[in-house]
Amino acid sequence: MPEPIIIVNYNSEWPRKYEKTAAKILGAIGDKGVAVEHIGSTAVPGLGAKPIIDIMVAVGLISDAHECILPLRSIGYEYTPYPDFPQRLFFRDGSMGAGPHHLHVTELTSSFWEEKLLFRDFLRAHAEVAHEYFILKTQLAVRYGADREKYEPYTEAKTSFIESVLARARVENQS
């Protein structure tokens, strides 16, 4: 049975776990990785989250990402194709939604790369917005969390909030 969606309070160990895991990933893929970032809620100090470290690695071209599949498999990462998202490759270690890490590999110039960093950085700079996001995620986890098959509605329910934050961040960055 799939794991339920659980939101936990911020853990000050998450950045250290990210650093350790990012080094292992970069060691496996070598010069294919041109940049690496800690993204998602675990990358925002004080923000509660699902206890899964999201890591984003940039490559020069998406074809370089495909060359990372075997090296990443050798360190325990399973490639999970998402045809609807051709600008990134997704990997996980452990079962979906319950493993300790999710890995996103994308081009350095992709909108995926830009939006993930924009969202993270805005939440880091605006604690009140990060708190609103925590409340939303907690409410959605209660609503959808007992049934992991409802993960898609959980994710979709966060979309309008994320899009509004991205719009605010873009305006703020233009100032």
Tens digits of residue pLDDT in 14-73: 999 999 999 999 999 999 999 999 999 999 999 999 999 999 999 999 999 999 999 999
Q: Residue 69 and residue 95: Cα distance in Å, rounded?
A: 17
Give just the sign of the alpha carbon dihedral 29, 31, 37, 39: negative
Residue 105 neighbours by CB distance under 10 Å:
28
Question: For 60, which DSSP code?
Answer: S
77-124 pLDDT, tens digit per residue, is 999 998 888 889 999 997 555 579 999 999 999 999 999 999 999 999
Q: What are phi and psi of 16, to 5 degrees?
A: -65, -40
CB-based contact 34:59 (threshold 8 Å):
yes
Task: Kindly give, in sequence order, each residue whose CB lies less than 8 Å from that of residue 16, ignoring residues fewer than 6 positions away.
Answer: none
* Neighbour order of strands in the sheet with 78-80: 35-39, 53-59, 101-107, 88-93, 78-80
**Three-class secondary structure of residue 12 per DSSP:** coil
pLDDT number for residue 141: 87
Question: Measuring CA to CA, which residue among 121, 75, 81, 82 is closest to residue 101?
Answer: 75
pLDDT number for residue 1: 45
pLDDT number for residue 85: 83
pLDDT score of 169 more than 90: yes
pLDDT score of 148 more than 90: no
CB-based contact 123:47 (threshold 8 Å):
yes
pLDDT number for residue 117: 98
Structural domains in the chain plus CATH codes:
14-170 (3.30.460.10)
